[in-house]
């Protein structure tokens, strides 16, 4: 098949990585894949274009593809994208964010082509309601891929799409990269003994990520187990205000390791953890950092938010908790005091990741979705050819009424 992926952003985020990984696997499977995204500003070292190029995908940056709706940019993108799709003779346009979904949907509505529009939705806790969502899903979507049962149920409840058009999948992980059997941890680089108990969190250090709960829980734990070391893997504009200064005031700063942003040595750093804490999904509702830790055999302590309870079976791959400081501290202490159970949960997490987050398996599933959707569209167009003008008019009116509700 000939597939066009559209991604309306230039930043290298969790969803961007998912989109690139899918496109890369589809290339390996023999499909003709084109990946288009926004061009990064001059001088930006980290971008989707740079990361995709390293992964052996050369993105098309001929369109502005702004993350958010931009009237001027979209008016410029629309005719060029329409022409690009028409000349490209694509079987599938796979969109990943609302604005690229809108642009592709409008382009395809004005073209008499066989192409189907597929959307990946990375929201873990449901999509935003309103006219835009109803327009995109009800009027411009041939198939929707969601990674969360909660989101799937919400979309069906709001009747944005029929059930047969919604496919539940799992976000793939680069299992070759996140293979604990091939990675040596870098505890020595942080002055950590191999026998030490080390926890960690991988997240942008932001005010809404509940670092105050984490620090209070760690203070409780350290009163009982003062040898715990805890890594904060990430960066953030407010890191001093959110984590560094509070930890100094609480007297626990010496037990914390602020690693900063990790790229080349991220996997060895992740391998240094005995367990991982994750409290609030960020911009990536699919929680990439949790999936990667599971692939590395690291058990998870997760808050009961978003799709986290769907990913982690309580007391099997880790714990899903109400994230009060007391409950979080109690769970951390359980991991410290029960090393055999902690290791078994890590093994369970690794086994689950190998089975459910396999890129080849997920790409084959999405390929099946493409083929089924193309078949449905062909059958529908065939039926319309023999349908009376009055019947076609009635169907169009019903569709518009559905969108306006």
| Domains observed in the chain | 2-172+359-374 (3.40.50.2000), 180-356 (3.40.50.2000)
**pLDDT of residue 1 exceeding 70:** yes
Over range 42-71, report the average pLDDT.
93
Q: In a 3-state reduction of DSSP, which class is residue 255?
A: helix
Nearest to 247 by CA among 276, 272, 211: 211
Over range 68-92, report the average pLDDT.
95
Q: In a 3-state reduction of DSSP, which class is residue 37?
A: strand
Count of Cβ atoms closer than 10 Å to residue 53 Cβ: 13
pLDDT digits (tens, 9 = 90+) for 293-351: 999 999 999 999 888 999 999 999 999 999 899 999 999 999 999 999 999 999 999 99
H-helix or E-strand spanning residue 34: strand 32-37
Report pLDDT for 27: 95
Contacts of 387 (CB under 8 A, 6+ apart): 395
Give the pLDDT band (50/70/90) at residue 396: low
> C-alpha distances in angstroms, 63 versus 33, 204, 207?
17, 29, 34
Report pLDDT for 394: 60
Over range 264-276, report the average pLDDT.
94
Higher pLDDT, 227 or 128: 227
> C-alpha distances in angstroms, 138 versus 160, 163, 362, 377, 399?
5, 12, 25, 15, 8
Count of Cβ atoms closer than 10 Å to residue 174 Cβ: 17
Over range 12-40, report the average pLDDT.
94
Q: In a 3-state reduction of DSSP, which class is residue 36?
A: strand
Over range 353-366, report the average pLDDT.
92
């Amino acid at each position: 098949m000939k597939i066009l992926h559209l991604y309306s952003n230039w930043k290298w985020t969790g969803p961007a990585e998912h989109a690139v990984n899918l496109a890369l696997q589809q290339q390996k499977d023999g499909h003709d894949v084109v990946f288009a995204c926004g061009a990064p500003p001059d001088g930006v070292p980290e971008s989707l274009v740079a990361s995709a190029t390293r992964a052996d995908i050369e993105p098309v940056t001929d369109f502005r593809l702004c993350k958010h709706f931009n009237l001027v940019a979209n008016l410029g993108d629309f005719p060029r994208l329409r022409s690009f799709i028409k000349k490209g003779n694509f079987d599938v346009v796979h969109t990943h964010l609302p604005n690229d979904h809108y642009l592709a949907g409008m382009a395809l509505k004005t073209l008499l082509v066989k192409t189907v529009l597929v959307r990946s939705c990375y929201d873990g806790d449901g999509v935003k309601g309103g006219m835009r969502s109803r327009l995109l899903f009800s009027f411009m979507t041939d198939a929707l891929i969601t990674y969360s049962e909660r989101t799937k149920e919400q979309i069906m409840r709001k009747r944005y799409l029929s059930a047969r058009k919604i496919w539940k999948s799992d976000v793939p992980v680069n299992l070759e990269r996140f293979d604990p059997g091939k990675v040596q941890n870098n505890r020595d680089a942080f002055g950590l003994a191999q026998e030490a108990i080390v926890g960690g969190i991988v997240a942008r250090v932001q005010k809404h990520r509940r670092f105050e709960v984490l620090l209070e829980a760690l203070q409780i734990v350290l009163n009982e187990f003062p040898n715990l070391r805890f890594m904060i893997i990430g960066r953030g504009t407010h890191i001093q205000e959110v984590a560094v200064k509070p930890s100094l005031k609480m007297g626990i700063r010496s037990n914390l390791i602020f690693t900063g942003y990790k790229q080349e040595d991220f996997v060895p750093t992740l391998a240094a953890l005995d367990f991982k804490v994750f409290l609030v999904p960020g911009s990536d509702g699919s929680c990439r950092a949790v999936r990667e830790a599971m692939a590395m055999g690291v058990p998870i302590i997760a808050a009961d938010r978003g799709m986290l309870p769907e990913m982690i079976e309580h007391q099997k791959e880790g714990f899903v908790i109400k994230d009060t400081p007391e409950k979080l501290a109690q769970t951390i202490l359980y991991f410290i005091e029960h090393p055999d159970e902690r290791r078994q949960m890590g093994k369970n997490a690794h086994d689950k990741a190998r089975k459910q987050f396999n890129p080849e398996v997920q790409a084959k599933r999405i390929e099946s979705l493409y083929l089924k959707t193309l078949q449905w569209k062909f059958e529908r167009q065939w039926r319309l050819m023999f349908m009376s003008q009055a019947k076609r008019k009635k169907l169009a009116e019903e569709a518009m009424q559905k969108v306006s509700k």
